[in-house]
Amino acid sequence: GFKATPGSGHVFAHTIARDDPHPINAPFTIERFRTGRLIDEAAAAAVAH
């Protein structure tokens, strides 16, 4: 939701400025699709799917 926007902006700015993922978003890089290391969505979501 909108309350997460400042935090996600900080993490995104870190990633852009340093060309290196912030530790919080490191598991969510595009490399996970290339390597097949996908995130378990059931564990990443706040609601059951």
Q: What is the mean pLDDT of residues 29-47?
A: 72
Is 11 inside a domain boundary?
A: yes
Look at the chain and report how many structural domains it folds into: 1
Comparing 38 with 29, the larger pLDDT belongs to 29
Rounded CA separation 38/35 (Å): 8
pLDDT value of residue 34: 86
Is 49 inside a domain boundary?
A: no
| 21 burial type by CB count under 10 A (0-12 exposed, 13-18 middle, 19+ buried) | middle
- Which residues touch 49 (CB under 8 Å, ≥6 apart)? 41, 42
Owning domain of residue 28:
2-44
Rounded CA separation 6/37 (Å): 28
Global confidence as pTM? 0.57
Q: What is the mean pLDDT of the chain?
A: 81
Q: What is the mean pLDDT of residues 7-33?
A: 90
